Amino acid sequence: MSVPTDDDHLMTLIERIAQRDEAALKALYDLTARKLYGLSLRVVGSAEAAEDALQESFLHVWRNAGDYRATLSPPMAWLGLIVRSRSLDILRRRAAERSHLTQELDETLADTLDGDTPDPLDTILASQQAWALHQCLGQLEPKQREVISLAYLRDLSHRELSERLALPLGTVKTWIRRGLDRLRDCMARFA
């Protein structure tokens, strides 16, 4: 990307959006849509639902950009929270509408757990804290890392994780506890 995409630039765009500047919304979309769509895809597991979530998220940004400043969040963190929350809403709505979706999800989950490669980090867009978390996650066992990511991204309980991943409940609990302990020690060094 040739455009400078640091936090200041993103924050300027969000401020312009708060002033009803549609060109700024388009610019923000062009810079962040791939990243945010990737997140939504990971949460909802289907392209169609992820596109709906992305659409709802940007409409939310359009209507609520004025609230951004008060959150004190780095821009990508704010956008990430919006997208995750919209995605989870859609996931719950769809799960309520169609129970067969659980099955699709299970398959996606199993696939994700097989993939051991740590997710590549787009360092240009990530906040400082995300960079630190990325470093620390890299120190975990791949499976610990995946279970922790899934617990958060899909808002799953220990029991749901154990059912969907076909792992004993005790194993899930241990992986998460140990993973979080190691993250704590590691993140403390970045504080």
Partner 1 sequence: MRIHRHPELVQRLAAAHALGTLRGGARRRFEAIAREQPVVRAAALEWQSRVASLNELQRPAEPAPQVWTRIHNLVQADVERTAMAQARTPAEERGVWHSLALWRGAGLTGVFTLLLAAVFVPDLMRDLQQRSAQVAELERRLLATPEVRYVSVLNDEQARPAMLITFDPKNNRLSLQRVGAYQEAADRSLQLWALPPGAAPRSLGVLTPERLQQLAVQESAVREVPALAISLEPLGGVPSERGPTGPVLFQGALIQKQI
> Could you say whether residue 42 binds partner 1 (CB under 8 A)?
yes
Stretch that binds partner 1, among 7-15, 103-111, 153-161, 163-171 (CB under 8 A): 153-161
The Cα 138–Cα 180 span in angstroms is: 13
> Could you say whether residue 81 binds partner 1 (CB under 8 A)?
yes
The Cα 49–Cα 40 span in angstroms is: 8
> Could you say whether residue 125 binds partner 1 (CB under 8 A)?
yes
> Any residues with CB less than 8 A from the CB of 58 and at least 6 apart, and which?
25, 28, 29
Residue with tokens 């066992």: 141
Report the nearest approach of partner 1 to the CB of residue 66 (Å): 14
Report the nearest approach of partner 1 to the CB of residue 176 (Å): 6
> Any residues with CB less than 8 A from the CB of 16 and at least 6 apart, and which?
23, 24
> Could you say whether residue 122 binds partner 1 (CB under 8 A)?
yes
Question: For 26-36, b where at least 16 C-beta lie within 10 A, e where not — what string?
Answer: ebbeebbeebb
Instruction: Give the nearer residue to partner 1 in terms of CB position, either 58 or 68.
Output: 58
Task: Compute how many residues bind partner 1; rule: CB under 8 A.
Answer: 58
Stretch that binds partner 1, among 3-11, 47-55, 103-111, 162-170 (CB under 8 A): 47-55
Length of the chain in terms of residues written: 191
> Could you say whether residue 11 binds partner 1 (CB under 8 A)?
no
Q: How many CB atoms lie within 10 A of CB 11?
A: 15
The Cα 156–Cα 31 span in angstroms is: 30
Phi-psi region of 118 (alpha: psi -120 to 50; beta: other; left: phi over 0): beta
Report the nearest approach of partner 1 to the CB of residue 134 (Å): 6
Site for partner 1 (CB under 8 A): which residue of 62, 101, 108, 171? 62
The residues of the shown chain that bind partner 1, judged by CB under 8 A, are 20, 22, 25-26, 29, 33-35, 37-39, 41-42, 47, 50-51, 54-55, 58-59, 62-63, 73, 76-77, 80-81, 83-84, 119-122, 125-127, 129-130, 132-134, 137, 148-149, 151-153, 155-158, 176-177, 180-181, 183-184, 187
